[in-house]
Amino acid sequence: MTFSRQTPHRPPLIDANSDEFASLSKSHLTELPLDRNRLHDFDYLTLGLTFLLVALGLLTIYSTTYNPEAGGWLTAYCRRQATWFSIALIVGGGLFIFHYNYLYQAAYPLYGFGLLLLLAVEVAGSKHMGATRWLSIGGMNVQPSEFAKLTVILALARYLSGRRLPPPYNLKELLTPVVIVALPSFLILKQPDLGTTMLIILISGVVIFIAGITRGTIITITISALTAAFGGWHFLHDYQRQRVLTFINPENDPLGSGYHIAQSKIAIGAGKLFGKGFLKGTQNTLHFLPEQHTDFIFAAYAEQWGFLGTIILLALYFAFLFRALNIAMEARDTFGSYLASGIAATFFWQVTINIGMVSGLMPVVGIPLPLFSYGGTSMLTSLALISILLNIHYHRKA
Amino acid sequence: MANVDNSKKSKREQIAANGRVIMIVMGLIVAGITLRLWYLQIVQGEYYNQKSQDNRIRTRRIRALRGIITDRNGEILADNSLGFNLQLIPESIDQIEEVADLLTSQIDGLDTDTIVNLYQKTPSCARHQPLTLKKNLNPNELARVEARKFELPGILIETEPIREYPYDEVCSHIIGYLGFVNNRELELPAYKSYARDDLVGRSGIEARYQEYLRGEDGQRQVEVNARGRELSAYTIQPAQSGKNLELTIDIDLQQHAFELMGTNVGSLVAINPKNGEILALVSTPSFSNNLFATRISTKDWQKINSDPLHPLQNRPIQGCYPPGSTIKPLIAAVALTDQIITPQTSFSCSGAMTLGNTRFRCWNRYGHGNVDLYRSLKESCDVYYYNLATRIAIDRIAAYGAQFGLGQTCGVELPEEKSGLLPSSSWKLKNVHDQWYTGDTIAICIGQGYLTTTPLQIAAMYTVFANGGTYYKPHLVKEKNEPLDSSSNQSRSSRAVGTRVEISDHHMQAIRKALWQVVNNKRGTAFKYRITIEGCEMAGKTGTAQVIKQSLEDLKGSKDIPWRFRDHAWFAAFAPYNDPEITIAVLVEHGGHGGSTAAPIARQAIEFYLNKLKQ
């Protein structure tokens, strides 16, 4: 099984700590962002998959917010999501103009800014449903943990690629990356937002693994993670413990916290092989399904399109992830490579956690399905990440 | 693992090798998720599909309307009207304190703390279900809530059939009232088909005909959303309204009689002597059965329950009183039939009779002189009956009394009817452990002693004198109504025919004539209250039942005697004399002499009824 075709004419990977990288970075700053002769270098496949997933998402959002009495051919949520997608496309397009090497320069300042925002939440954040996650800036609610997620990947890629010490690294040599991950993770865990904390740690794990670590380190980390999981139980909030307990036995409390998982499983299962059909999912239209256009949108999709539909959706995501990892492997330099694998990991873990959660494989942690769930922040972040991915691919040939 | 000999590989090879590991891990995880979805959607698909159906389809009950109760002319006595209940849906309300304050200011009997408490105590799984704050709003309250509907999201008005009694206290003892079935009853097999919040008859016709009036609840299926809101519904089984019931009561007479009784404590029973149909059955003081239609307030209940006059007691069938002189026609009939006397046989009354060491007084201490049957009844001479008492065996009186319906329940269609007491020698031996003395018979013959009767029994007895010898079981429910069960079917057929009493026709006529004289002869005890209209002449008998021993009666004038020691006043009558249409028995507790308290009430009731018949 070969995932990446290593063609003989491929140029050697440039180390971001080399002088060559430095000089290349300088020359690219003056280069025209788009060249008519290089249109074939653009990654149409990833962009196509993105459009396909967003389109399916819009269709499902329409079905989850459809109200036969209100009429109209688009629901308000659908229109808003489409608007967010357009804005995100413009933002992503704008980002594409700039060579991703700018991010190499900006990685640490952005990381610092992300930490500052998290500290600001700690001091002046607005409380909502027992958690302090939002910052009110000019009437808009911003969730700094979303931004921090991005800056951690940047800082990690920057640090690992700029390092003179060659991999694989052992535990001692990983001290700095661990600190880079731990600082924001700790602040986010305090909010408390267990889901995003978990996500950041998992993404960082993938980036560090791609960079290379020793086998002993893997074993040590696995053992200590398991120990921490059991020890960490004592530090969990009541609602978090409840979620874990409910996850283990949802039937225990079918109308309380187990309700979400139970109803979501019913919705998915009721889809059977071919699904109930578009707009015909009763779990969805009669609102038995909670958060049906955001976190639980996959269940609404599964109810309408059945096993065949879910297989198709999973295949689309898998193709997208496969492509993203390929971009990581074919990147011009180590920074691009680590950054691309961080982006691939972000999408992978979000999809895994979200579908695992709605199908009852994992506790409910509140991670949306990227490109699919309703939500402006998620859409903006996703398209920004994809834009960077396309950027890395576009500049793969130096 | 690809990262072991990294040092020998180029950086690109290292990353590619590690990337492949990540790809394999991703592939395995996606395969795991696919397996999970296959399990949920293919293996367990049908199970979850059924669960999604159960989620949205619920079966709900359609309440059957209770049967309507009417009087003999179709006038409605118990009806169903719409009750408006104030409800609150917790999940639709954010500012409970504001809503509660607003409601409290508009509607009596609510308070903010209770509402807020109720709201907060509702578990999250039940927050979509309406809580009932107050049942049966009055029109004013309803209007106030409706006017502020926009300020009150989450507040709704639910309609529910409630039982309504248009005549209220006029016939509350007959109709009875409803009450909620309680938890203890729900466990009994007889209440198998009942559910919490069901109403059942608690007294009167409502209780006796519970199953007949109840009807059958229907079922419907509704599609609900997650908040329990009904989206569509279809009926699987329609509700079957309860059957209507027609009573023999003439509500006009009942109401008039109730008004005539006024503040008097007592009973009035009117019966059609041609068939035993009860035309009026009044018990005073009364109560409002509409208070019971919705949950009765503790205050109202205590007021009714602690009233020393016991308004809940249905006196015509539950009050057992000595019949006083109203028993005399029966005694005379027994004596005539057993050939102890003829109508012309006379006894001398000197104001008292001595038997052994005891002196038995006549109410007229100066004596009546020579008294025959007619005078004995007309002037109600006690000594005449003392003389009969020394000659009649008590068991003969018991035997004839039973034919007239004494000492047993009449079988009227109301719960808890009392039988009174018609004593016999064997009864006394068994219950008092003593033999029967002539002195006991003397007391019986003037309607005192062990003998007690209900007003209904007295009325039923006088229907026999009215129609000339046939005893009909008095009844409240019209023949044409379907029987409740086979046992009552039997009693119905016999009640329609009636049974002849073993009194010969000419003896019966003699007694009837004497009773006519009571009212229409100048010396009769009820002459003052005769009916002078041609063809409407009344016949009857006064009675005065002693509450205490005679010694206290020496006090001059009834006004000096405390109310509770005064005699009970009786009057039993029928009219028109030649072809009676109505028999009436009036009892006024502690009313003094029957001729002065009970007779005017009876006369006016009869006049009212005969007037109504003429029209």
Is A31 part of a structural domain of the chain? no
Hey, is B353 helix, strand or coil?
strand
Question: Is the per-residue pLDDT at B352 higher than 50?
Answer: yes
A141 plus A113 within the same structural domain: yes
Looking at A235, A263, A279, the residue that finishes a domain is A235
List the structure tokens of A16: 């971001």
Question: Is the per-residue pLDDT at B489 higher than 50?
Answer: no
Helices (H) and strands (E) in chain B, counts: 22, 21
Chain A interface disruption, residue of B10, B15, B125, most A CBs within 10 A: B15
Helix or strand run (H / E) with residue A137: strand A131-137
Residue A322 contacts B, CB cutoff 8 Å: yes
**Set of chain A residues whose Cβ sits within 8 Å of the Cβ of B32:** 361
Q: What is the ipTM of this complex?
A: 0.90
List the structure tokens of B514: 């004497």
pLDDT at residue B557, rounded to an integer: 52
Residue A249: pLDDT band with limits 50, 70, 90: low
Give the mean pLDDT of A72-90: 87
Domains in chain B, CATH or no CATH each: 1-28 (no CATH), 63-246 (3.90.1310.10), 251-614 (3.40.710.10)
Is A350 part of a structural domain of the chain? yes
Buried b / exposed e over A44-76, threshold 16 CB at 10 Å, is eebbebbebbbebbbebbbbbbbeeeeeeeebe
Phi/psi region, residue B472 (left: phi>0; alpha: psi -120 to 50; beta: rest), is beta
For residue B452, the 8-state DSSP code is B
pLDDT at residue A246, rounded to an integer: 63
A254 plus A394 within the same structural domain: yes
- Structure confidence by residue, pLDDT tens digits, B568-599: 999 999 989 999 999 999 999 988 777 788 99
Question: Is the per-residue pLDDT at B25 higher than 80?
Answer: yes
A-B CB pairs within 8 A amount to 166
pLDDT at residue A27, rounded to an integer: 64
- B257 close to B605: Cβ distance less than 8 angstroms: yes
- Structure confidence by residue, pLDDT tens digits, A2-56: 444 444 456 778 887 787 787 777 666 556 556 677 778 889 999 999 999 999 9
Q: Do B48 and A288 count as a contact with CB atoms less than 8 A apart? A: no
Q: Do A214 and B3 count as a contact with CB atoms less than 8 A apart? A: yes
Is A178 part of a structural domain of the chain? yes
Is A44 part of a structural domain of the chain? no
- B529 close to B519: Cβ distance less than 8 angstroms: yes
**Set of chain B residues whose Cβ sits within 8 Å of the Cβ of A273:** 41-42, 45
Write the residue in B15, B34, B41 that is nearest to A314 by C-beta.
Answer: B34
Domain count, chain A: 2
Write the residue in A211, A270, A329 that is nearest to B52 by C-beta.
Answer: A270
Q: Do A341 and B19 count as a contact with CB atoms less than 8 A apart? A: yes
**Set of chain A residues whose Cβ sits within 8 Å of the Cβ of B3:** 167-168, 212-215
pLDDT at residue B184, rounded to an integer: 86
Least Cα distance to A60 among A281, A288, A273, A351 occurs for A281
Range name among A293-297, B111-115, B247-251, B332-336 with the lowest pLDDT average: B111-115
pLDDT at residue B8, rounded to an integer: 53
Q: CA-CA distance, B252 to B240, in Å (whole number)? A: 31
Is A203 part of a structural domain of the chain? yes
A143 plus A200 within the same structural domain: yes
Q: Do A206 and B22 count as a contact with CB atoms less than 8 A apart? A: yes
A174 plus A273 within the same structural domain: no
A207 plus A328 within the same structural domain: no
A289 plus A394 within the same structural domain: yes
Which residues, including other chains, have CB under 8 Å from residue B481's CB and lie 6 or more apart?
B243, B245, B246
Write the residue in B40, B46, B226 that is nearest to A286 by C-beta.
Answer: B226
Question: Is the per-residue pLDDT at B158 higher than 90?
Answer: no
Q: A217-224 long-range contacts, Cβ below 8 Å, gap at least 24? A: A217/A168, A217/A169, A217/A170, A217/A171, A217/A174, A220/A171, A221/A171
A139 plus A206 within the same structural domain: yes
Chain B interface disruption, residue of A288, A343, A347, A357, most B CBs within 10 A: A288
Supply the range of the domain harboring residue A155: 105-235
| Closest-approach residue (CA) in chain B for A272 | B41
Cis-peptide into A168, omega within 30 deg: yes
- B312 close to B305: Cβ distance less than 8 angstroms: yes
Residue A255 contacts B, CB cutoff 8 Å: yes
**Set of chain A residues whose Cβ sits within 8 Å of the Cβ of B7:** 166
Q: CA-CA distance, A49 to A60, in Å (whole number)? A: 17
Cis-peptide into B576, omega within 30 deg: yes
The mean of the pLDDT values for chain A is 84
Exposed, middle or buried, B225 (CB in 10 Å: 0-12/13-18/19+)? Answer: middle
- Structure confidence by residue, pLDDT tens digits, A194-245: 888 989 999 999 999 999 898 888 898 888 888 887 777 777 777 777 777 6
A290 plus A395 within the same structural domain: yes
Is A10 part of a structural domain of the chain? no
- B575 close to B270: Cβ distance less than 8 angstroms: no
Looking at A235, A260, A284, the residue that finishes a domain is A235
A258 plus A328 within the same structural domain: yes
A379 plus A298 within the same structural domain: yes
Mean pLDDT: which of A42-46, B92-96, B99-103, B547-551 is highest?
A42-46
- Structure confidence by residue, pLDDT tens digits, B257-309: 999 999 999 999 999 999 899 999 999 899 988 888 766 778 888 888 888 88
- Structure confidence by residue, pLDDT tens digits, A128-176: 666 677 777 766 677 888 889 999 999 999 999 988 888 888 888 889 9
pLDDT at residue B2, rounded to an integer: 42
Question: Is the per-residue pLDDT at B537 higher than 60?
Answer: yes
The amino acid present at A92, given as its one-letter code, is G
Instruction: Give the residue numbers of B annotated as catalytic, written as ranges.
Output: 325
pLDDT at residue A130, rounded to an integer: 62
| Closest-approach residue (CA) in chain B for A283 | B52
Residue B552: pLDDT band with limits 50, 70, 90: very low
Is A35 part of a structural domain of the chain? no
Range list of β-strands (E), B491-567: 499-500, 539-545
Q: Do B19 and A288 count as a contact with CB atoms less than 8 A apart? A: no
Chain B interface disruption, residue of A2, A3, A303, most B CBs within 10 A: A3
- Structure confidence by residue, pLDDT tens digits, A254-272: 455 567 888 889 999 999 8
Looking at A186, A201, A235, the residue that finishes a domain is A235
* Alpha-carbon gap: A273 to the closest alpha carbon of chain B (Å): 6
Q: CA-CA distance, A106 to B585, in Å (whole number)? A: 110
pLDDT at residue B234, rounded to an integer: 72
Question: Is the per-residue pLDDT at B118 higher than 50?
Answer: yes
Residue A108 contacts B, CB cutoff 8 Å: no
Mean pLDDT: which of A63-67, B177-181, B457-461 is highest?
B457-461
Least Cα distance to A63 among A231, A239, A289 occurs for A289
- Structure confidence by residue, pLDDT tens digits, B120-140: 887 766 666 778 888 778 888
**Set of chain A residues whose Cβ sits within 8 Å of the Cβ of B53:** 282
A389 plus A259 within the same structural domain: yes
**Set of chain A residues whose Cβ sits within 8 Å of the Cβ of B45:** 269-273, 307
**Set of chain B residues whose Cβ sits within 8 Å of the Cβ of A314:** 30, 33-34, 37
pLDDT at residue B3, rounded to an integer: 44
Helices (H) and strands (E) in chain A, counts: 14, 3
- Structure confidence by residue, pLDDT tens digits, B498-523: 889 989 999 999 999 999 999 998 88
* DSSP code string of B2-50: TTTTGGGS-HHHHHHHHHHHHHHHHHHHHHHHHHHHHIIIIISHHHHHH
pLDDT at residue A2, rounded to an integer: 43
A173 plus A298 within the same structural domain: no
Range list of β-strands (E), B204-273: 218-224, 230-237, 245-246, 266-271
Distance of CA B246 to the CA centre of its chain: 15
pLDDT at residue A8, rounded to an integer: 45
Is A245 part of a structural domain of the chain? no
pLDDT at residue A268, rounded to an integer: 93
Least Cα distance to B349 among B328, B334, B367 occurs for B367
Residue A65 contacts B, CB cutoff 8 Å: no
Give the mean pLDDT of B179-185: 85
